[in-house]
Structure 1
Amino acid sequence: MSDIVIACPHCKSLNKLPKKDEYKKAVCGVCKGNLLENKAISVDSYDEFQKIVNSVTVPVIIDFWAEWCGPCQMFAPIFNKVAGSFPLQAQFIKVNTDKNQQAAMQFGIRSIPTIVALKDGVEIDRAMGALDEFSFSMWVDKIVES
């Protein structure tokens, strides 16, 4: 059985766990935070962004957004709510395009919000615009199952 690597949603430390179909408990080795409490991680530095997307072994779902963007603000609670539905199945990160322009340029972000899905550091899908909760959840489910 292989391991998974996931970033802690509380302290951003990388954690290696045995891959299982179901987890009753998963605790960060650094901060002791609950890894099953999946929530979006804000990533403002490019180095931190690279560390997470290149190390995490589950699909990474990235929300490229900005504070001044109305649709981004409307989508933010949906992104966070859906993240909670996929503990240890996907890593959800938020990239503020004003603070992390290098990451936005790397993925050719031209409009926001743009949601990008990565698997093994490679883009496998993207969605543009603020999705409703059902559509976004179905989109993530398709990514996780692929």
Structure 2
Amino acid sequence: MANDSITVIETAEQYQELINSPGKTTIIDFWADWCMPCKAIAPRFAKLAEDNTNDNLVFAKVELKMEEADHWTGPVANELKIVSIPHFVALRDGKKIESQKGAQVNLVAFVSQVQALE
């Protein structure tokens, strides 16, 4: 359920390129196809991305496919310590700067908090 305001990350190379974009903060929604809470919060994430006016803020989604041990998302989830979904992670210069998990996350407050860290 992505829109034009959300980058769907499908490869490890694409992930690395996006999180290492100079001057950009990337907010990633880690989700899974079978996760009902992920599906419940997806429209709020999409709306936030659509309403974003900050050129330095990038919204993206990564579908976790943990059942495939060699899938690129497994190592990324481990590196970022993602143990439950939905999980929202803000990265800048390739490093995690903030994260929130669960379908009850106040995404507007999360994004404001991330922007205050700039």
Shorter chain as denominator, the TM-score bin is 0.7 to 0.9
Q: Secondary structure at the match of 1:140?
A: helix
Consecutive unaligned residues in structure 2, runs of 5 or more: 66-70
Output one character per residue of 1:29-80: Cα deviation in whole Å (capped at 9) or x when no partner: xxxxxxxxxx111101111101111124221101110000000001111111
Letter in 2 for 1:71: P
Correspondence for 1:63: 29
Distance in 2, matches of 1:74 and 1:81, equals 13
Which consecutive segments of 4 or more residues in structure 1 shift more than 3 A? none
When residues 104 and 143 of structure 1 are mapped into structure 2, their CA distance, relative to the original with a 3 A threshold, is: same
Asked if 1:45 is matched to 2:11, the reply is yes
Distance in 2, matches of 1:56 and 1:93, equals 16
Asked if 1:131 is matched to 2:104, the reply is yes
Distance in 2, matches of 1:139 and 1:93, equals 15
2:61 aligned to which of 80, 83, 94: 94
RMSD value, Cα: 1.8
Tell me, yes or no, if the aligned pair for 1:42 and 1:93 is still in contact at 8 Å.
yes
Asked if 1:114 is matched to 2:87, the reply is yes
Tell me, yes or no, if the aligned pair for 2:16 and 2:94 is still in contact at 8 Å.
no
Higher relative contact order (CA 8 A, sep 6+): 2
| TM-score, L = length of structure 2 | 0.81
Distance in 2, matches of 1:112 and 1:92, equals 17
Consecutive unaligned residues in structure 1, runs of 5 or more: 1-8, 11-38
Aligned pair count?
108
Please state which structure has a larger fraction of its residues in helix. 2
Asked if 1:78 is matched to 2:44, the reply is yes
Q: Secondary structure at the match of 1:109?
A: coil
Q: Secondary structure at the match of 1:84?
A: helix
Tell me, yes or no, if the aligned pair for 2:30 and 2:63 is still in contact at 8 Å.
yes
Correspondence for 1:140: 111
Distance in 2, matches of 1:89 and 1:141, equals 13
| TM-score, L = length of structure 1 | 0.67
